[in-house]
Structure 1
Amino acid sequence: MASAAPQRIYRAPCPGCGAPVEFRSAQSTHAVCSYCHSTIVRSGETLQRLGKMAEVFEDYSPLQLMASGRHEGRPFVLVGRLQYRGSSGPWAEWQAAFDDGRVGQLSEDNGSYVMTFPAELGRDVPPAERFRVGATTAVSGKSFTVSANDEVALVSAQGELPKLPPLGQSFRSVELRSAQGEVLGIDYATVPPQVSRGRAVSLDELQLTGLRAEAAKEEKGRGFACPSCGAPVQVNLAGTLSVTCPSCHSVIDVSQGIAGELRHAQQDEPVRPLIPLGSTGELQGVPWQVVGFQHRMGAEPGDEDEQFGWSEYLLYNAKRGFVFLVDSEEGWSLVKPTTGAPQLAPDSRSATYLGTRYGLKYSYNAETNYVAGEFYWPVVRGQKTFNRDFAAGARLLSMEQTPREVTWSSGAGLSSDAVAAAFGMKDQDRFRRGDAGPTGGKSAGLGCGCLIVILIVILLLVLVVVLARNDDGSSGYTSAPRTSGGSWGGYSGGGGHK
């Protein structure tokens, strides 16, 4: 059971309304009154009102003020929250007051968590424009990759805080990640910029108590009329930036809210997912709900005529965030965006992540051609990426690159039977992929007779090609079929923000 050691608490009346305001951490210089939302600065034993803070927006987080836990054996209490917004959407930074006087930041972004602490670069902090996304740099002798460089702004705050950027005023935020899973953040809201460093954590690892009860997390869905056909559209997840109309299948951009005119794009030739949206299934001991689906097409660079397709299901769990269930010709896999940035070899033939070397299997251009459901990034039909898929035994690693960012995902393969059973699908044959081939036991689908017929057909085709070459003197042409690996990753628009 996690519990924080007793601390000296400074309490004084709010200069705005007289309600009690508490400071549990000696490092906290600001606070937001929970009654009148006054922004308060502390100077010694004196409180001064600076203005009024916007109320926090509902993000359906399981965290709340005064929740307690342990990090690396040390107790802490969540005493404050800052809510930011950038080009990829909103995220929160919770202020964790430790019993030894230190203050950490527990960053929360689409169900992913990173605990960081104030750090030093060991040199002057370069200007934000010096950090180019995808470039590598050394920090204290360790290699880091620039994963994000974005304009962000504080939109609301709650509780007591060691820092408080100006409300609504944009500033640069840079993030770097290492192949060992470390995260280094630089906020340019102050002079000099503030640097933090840490790693990914899970709520279970933090042994958190005092979390919000499920009853308190009432899903208050947002509804509006589809701008294309007028049918009702419901948005259920707080972080949704794109949603599809269930009637006309239009993709609707809700990244700027749902008031006023909404941007949308119509879709034709809908693809039916094998697993219906809204389905719940248990994979690797965790219950997941299907909230989004996208179908994508790929082609090797320079060979756009020969395409292959695969599907990606966006799964959601309140404590684990988002993962991707990928359905490709070679089989099913479950992957999640990585916290760290794998180290890509100079020749791009391998990548190293968390001490494991992954070999390159496929490189290809990818394009999204159909989407359905809700997504935490602004997905659009026709969205293009350049992908690389790597493997190390059963482990999978995927890189997706756009002109603006590079994202990585890691995971492992799943058996077809496990996926079908997880979602209660009776027709398991429809789920069989590369993991259930001719030697895969029951329902293999190909007997010895079929194999013999296929071999005969192949020999006849070879004979035809040879005869054609002898007739006209040309070399002839055959296109070898490509066994696609599909995408093991999945796009992560929320990959920044720690």
Structure 2
Amino acid sequence: MAENATQRYYRAPCPGCGAPVEFRSAQSTHAVCGYCQSTVVRSGEVLTRLGKMAELFDDHSPLQLMASGRIALDGKDLPFTLIGRLQYKGDAGTWTEWVAFLQDGSTATLGEDNGAYVFTRPFSTARELPQAAAFRVGSTTAINGKPFSVAANVQASLISAQGELPKLPPLGQPFAVVELRSEDGEVLSIDYGGPVPKLERGRAVRLEDLQLQGLKDESAKEEKGRQFNCPHCGAPVQVKLDNTKSITCGSCNSLIDLSAGVGAELRAAEQDEPVQPLIPLGSTGQLEGVPWQVVGFQHRMGVEPGDDEHFGWEEYLLYNRKRGFAFLVDATDGWSLVRPTTGAPKLASSGQSAIYLGTTYQLTSNYNAETTYVAGEFYWPVERGQKTFNRDFASSGRGLLSMEQTPREITWSSGSKLDSDTVAKAFKLEGKQDALKREDALPAFKASGMGCGTILIILVVLVILLILMNSCSSCDPRVENCSSSSYRSSGGSYGGYSSGGGHK
């Protein structure tokens, strides 16, 4: 546990049950008794009971109270301990904020949302913050002279809390939360849950970099799957992920909306023309040094504005307990692994390029995209027919950057290309290498060592073949990954309700 020799802990009996309630931070004004769930407020050395806090929902987080770690801040390596937990519900899902008590006596926030983490600290501005309504999603604003993009402006409410808390907005009462992102990956979160807006600034972090100790023992966690009968065919449907908002029936392929929760009214949409994923649902593959499980699959179609040629691609939703969610994208010219960006890339006024974390990406295509088929589980209420406007960018290397826009939100994702051999080895599908083969990241002449004359002949032959295929191809992009056009991969379904959850 992170400790500070100069910090005096305060302990007093709970007014509700008499159990000890401890305050480690002088900044904490509230606490939730771990025995009777009483919400208590501290005034000097007197504790007053305000009522009873709602039970926490099980978000299957590896974090827990009293877990400790280290964070690099302002050139210092500071120990911290998690002393409180706040669970919120917003327009597009739920997220958790952990109260971190640092060795220097200050507090910070470790935000957790669908396996993504952001570490933020209180931040002050040179002038008074405007009302939440002044922040329009997609617009640019300046905070202390630094430009930020407005990534989200949502209504949220506190649904539960635990431990020691420096703030406690009224339970269930909606308030505004605004998120700003910079091109260098910085996040500013403005919380309008109190009389004065609270501003915090930080960046994305990975749990393994925080040197955390005292995490939940994964082997000791009891998996409690939810089960119900499909509203379309009556077959049993098992929900494995706690934050699932959409799932498909394994018997009739119907798409079922769980956004209102199991036990509420379920809506099912029958899906025809099922698409068979090359990588089976439930498979586990090793990418970036960690295991990823395939939990969802979707087929999407796109068309460029003013064009009538449709193209298709596929996305596999991957899940890792500490890394959260990522997308393995299967497009006609290659595979890629992408995830949402923490910051907001700087888009050129011409729209032909974007800069993110110092790297310039050039526009490769822009198009309207639509989801046409889904299978498995998803952490957002996905629907057939969901539409976005997409822009894809690529760097001089393997880097990829994508923007998805809906009337509600503009979201970005980034990643890199993968060789098909890497995908085959990761998921132990060497027997399907031919089916997985795509135009890999290396140029053909570099990969094969062929001479320029040979390449020229091959290019001529390819042009002739493409003309013939364009005139007589029977490929249906609605159910197949087929296109003779340039690189088009959505970069992950982040946008509107497809968002990976930007609220920390």
**Residue equivalent to 1:430:** 435
Q: Which one-letter code corresponds to 2:220 in the other structure?
A: A
Q: Is the 8 A contact 1:387 1:398 kept in 2?
A: yes
Paired with 2:357 and 2:215, the residues of 1 have a C-alpha distance of 31
- Residue 351, structure 1, aligned to residue 357, structure 2: no
Secondary structure at the aligned position of 2:209 is classed as: coil
Paired with 2:393 and 2:159, the residues of 1 have a C-alpha distance of 39
Q: Is the 8 A contact 1:342 1:408 kept in 2?
A: yes
CA 1:369 to 1:53, structure 2 compared with 1: closer, same or farther past 3 Å? Answer: same
Paired with 1:489 and 1:52, the residues of 2 have a C-alpha distance of 41
The alpha carbon displacement at 1:345 in A equals 0.8
The alpha carbon displacement at 1:78 in A equals 0.2
Q: Is the 8 A contact 1:39 1:50 kept in 2?
A: yes
Bigger Cα displacement from structure 2, 242-251 vs 214-223: 214-223
Q: Which one-letter code corresponds to 1:98 in the other structure?
A: L
**Residue equivalent to 2:493:** 490
Secondary structure at the aligned position of 1:75 is classed as: strand
Query: Equivalences for 1:86-485 in 2 at 5 Å?
Result: 86-303=90-307, 305-392=308-395, 393-425=397-429, 426-435=431-440, 440-441=447-448, 451=458, 454=461, 457=464, 482-485=485-488
**Residue equivalent to 1:17:** 17
Q: Which one-letter code corresponds to 1:213 in the other structure?
A: D
Paired with 1:171 and 1:264, the residues of 2 have a C-alpha distance of 32
Paired with 2:463 and 2:89, the residues of 1 have a C-alpha distance of 62
Paired with 1:272 and 1:11, the residues of 2 have a C-alpha distance of 59
- Deviations for 1:361-414, whole angstroms, at most 9, x for unmatched residues? 111111000000111111100110000011112111000000100111001011
CA 1:30 to 1:344, structure 2 compared with 1: closer, same or farther past 3 Å? Answer: same
Q: Is the 8 A contact 1:328 1:487 kept in 2?
A: no
Q: Is the 8 A contact 2:2 2:103 kept in 1?
A: no
Paired with 1:282 and 1:452, the residues of 2 have a C-alpha distance of 35
**Aligned to 2:83, which of 73, 76, 79?**
79
- Residue 60, structure 1, aligned to residue 65, structure 2: no
The alpha carbon displacement at 1:481 in A equals 5.1
- Deviations for 1:13-36, whole angstroms, at most 9, x for unmatched residues? 000000010111111100000011
Q: Which one-letter code corresponds to 1:188 in the other structure?
A: Y
Structure 2 unaligned residues grouped into runs of 5+: 472-482
CA 1:271 to 1:52, structure 2 compared with 1: closer, same or farther past 3 Å? Answer: same
- Deviations for 1:443-467, whole angstroms, at most 9, x for unmatched residues? xxxx999959947957998xx9xxx
Structure 1 runs of 4+ off > 4 angstroms?
Answer: 436-442, 447-453, 455-461
Paired with 1:460 and 1:316, the residues of 2 have a C-alpha distance of 40
Secondary structure at the aligned position of 1:163 is classed as: coil
Secondary structure at the aligned position of 1:179 is classed as: coil
The alpha carbon displacement at 1:121 in A equals 2.2
Percent of residue pairs bearing the same amino acid type: 65
CA 1:142 to 1:232, structure 2 compared with 1: closer, same or farther past 3 Å? Answer: same
- Deviations for 1:424-454, whole angstroms, at most 9, x for unmatched residues? 1122111100118865559xxxx99995994
The alpha carbon displacement at 1:484 in A equals 3.9
Paired with 2:279 and 2:187, the residues of 1 have a C-alpha distance of 35
Bigger Cα displacement from structure 2, 106-115 vs 247-256: 247-256
**Residue equivalent to 2:50:** 50
CA 1:58 to 1:481, structure 2 compared with 1: closer, same or farther past 3 Å? Answer: closer
Secondary structure at the aligned position of 2:377 is classed as: strand
Q: Is the 8 A contact 1:308 1:484 kept in 2?
A: no
Paired with 1:459 and 1:357, the residues of 2 have a C-alpha distance of 31
CA 1:46 to 1:106, structure 2 compared with 1: closer, same or farther past 3 Å? Answer: same
Q: For the aligned residues, what is the CA RMSD?
A: 2.2
Paired with 2:4 and 2:365, the residues of 1 have a C-alpha distance of 53
The alpha carbon displacement at 1:4 in A equals 3.6
Q: Which one-letter code corresponds to 2:61 in the other structure?
A: S
Q: Which one-letter code corresponds to 2:400 in the other structure?
A: L
Q: Is the 8 A contact 1:397 1:489 kept in 2?
A: no
User: TM-score, normalising length from structure 2?
Assistant: 0.90
Paired with 2:170 and 2:463, the residues of 1 have a C-alpha distance of 74
Paired with 2:175 and 2:347, the residues of 1 have a C-alpha distance of 30
Paired with 1:10 and 1:460, the residues of 2 have a C-alpha distance of 78
User: TM-score, normalising length from structure 1?
Assistant: 0.91
Secondary structure at the aligned position of 1:419 is classed as: helix
Q: Is the 8 A contact 2:364 2:487 kept in 1?
A: no
Q: Which one-letter code corresponds to 2:62 in the other structure?
A: P
CA 1:317 to 1:368, structure 2 compared with 1: closer, same or farther past 3 Å? Answer: same
Q: Which one-letter code corresponds to 1:64 in the other structure?
A: Q
Paired with 1:324 and 1:245, the residues of 2 have a C-alpha distance of 22
Q: Which one-letter code corresponds to 1:489 in the other structure?
A: G
Q: Which one-letter code corresponds to 1:488 in the other structure?
A: G
Paired with 2:235 and 2:78, the residues of 1 have a C-alpha distance of 52
**Residue equivalent to 1:470:** none
Structure 1 unaligned residues grouped into runs of 5+: 465-479
Q: Which one-letter code corresponds to 2:346 in the other structure?
A: Q
Q: Is the 8 A contact 2:2 2:102 kept in 1?
A: no
Q: Is the 8 A contact 2:98 2:110 kept in 1?
A: yes
Paired with 1:302 and 1:103, the residues of 2 have a C-alpha distance of 53
Q: Is the 8 A contact 1:337 1:495 kept in 2?
A: no
Q: Is the 8 A contact 2:28 2:166 kept in 1?
A: yes
Count of aligned positions: 475
Paired with 2:328 and 2:150, the residues of 1 have a C-alpha distance of 27
Paired with 2:234 and 2:110, the residues of 1 have a C-alpha distance of 41
- Deviations for 1:267-288, whole angstroms, at most 9, x for unmatched residues? 1101000000000010121110
Paired with 1:104 and 1:45, the residues of 2 have a C-alpha distance of 24
Paired with 2:466 and 2:54, the residues of 1 have a C-alpha distance of 74
